[in-house]
Amino acid sequence: MSDVRERVPALTGLLTAVSLALVFGAVGGAIPSTALPRAPESVIEAIPTVNAVISAAAIGTIVAGVRAIRRGNVERHRRLMVTTFGLFVAFLVLYLYRVTLVGPTEFGGPAAVETYVYFPLLAVHILLAIVAIPAVYYTLLLAVSHPVSELRETNHPRAGKVAATLWLVSFTLGIVVYAMLYLLW
């Protein structure tokens, strides 16, 4: 772990670059859909709903994790934040799979709602998700590379607050975007 400890910023940058390259590559069509096995249509159609449920679960684990650390329950906090990261990875894998196969979903509502509500919400959601990625990696790498007794002396508490806030708002806006795409229109 001392190698990780000494390279937290570099590893954060590397993991962020790889993650964002995968996302932008999938959204931009750079990853050929033929590179992936195609699941049945019902599975592909269910992914947005599954991801909304994953997002809601992640909101719950983030809130519970923040409460746990405020109460001094470090082990519960750790378990909840690791669970949140697992939910994030599951969300990302499903999102990348679906967007690679079928591309981004078009907004089906009124043009005025698309212009003045949907696009601004989507833009903030995307921006926060992009900014959250390095914050999450940085916080996680600090946590895994330091003993619990040393974490208060690192940037982990401050970075964790930023990461948790960005994650919460991004996951919440993701659910709003989902509702606008799949429930309202």
Instruction: State mean pLDDT over 152-169.
Output: 96
Q: Which class for 41: exposed (0-12), middle (13-18), buried (19 or more C-beta within 10 A)?
A: exposed
Per-residue buried b or exposed e for 80-90, using 16+ beta carbons within 10 Å of the residue's own CB: bbebbbebbee
Report, as an integer, the average pLDDT of 109-120.
97
pLDDT of residue 120: 97
> pLDDT (tens digit, 9 = 90+) per residue, 59-104?
999 999 999 999 999 999 999 999 999 999 999 999 999 999 999 9
Supply the mean pLDDT for the chain.
Answer: 95
Q: Is 13 exposed, middle or buried (0-12, 13-18, 19+ CB in 10 A)?
A: middle
Residue 45's pLDDT is 97
How high is the pLDDT of residue 4? 87
Q: What is the distance, to the nearest Å, from the Cα of residue 116 to the centroid of all Cα atoms in its chain?
A: 25
Given a cut of 80, whether residue 1 has pLDDT beyond it is no
- Span 139-163, average pLDDT: 95
Q: What is the CA radius of gyration of the chain?
A: 18
DSSP three-state, residue 29? coil
User: What are 131-142's pLDDT values in tens digits?
Assistant: 999 999 999 999
For the domain covering 2-184, report its CATH number: 1.20.120
What percent of the chain lies above the pLDDT cut of 90?
94
Percent of the chain with pLDDT over 70: 99
For residue 122, give every residue at least 6 positions away whose Cβ sits within 8 Å of its Cβ, in sequence order, or none. 177
pTM of the model: 0.91
Question: Domain ranges in the chain?
Answer: 2-184
Q: What is d(CA 88, CA 92) in angstroms, rounded to the nearest whole number?
A: 6
Q: Is 160 helix (H, G, I), strand (E, B) or coil?
A: helix
Please determine, for residue 117, whether its predicted confidence score (pLDDT) is greater than 90.
Answer: yes
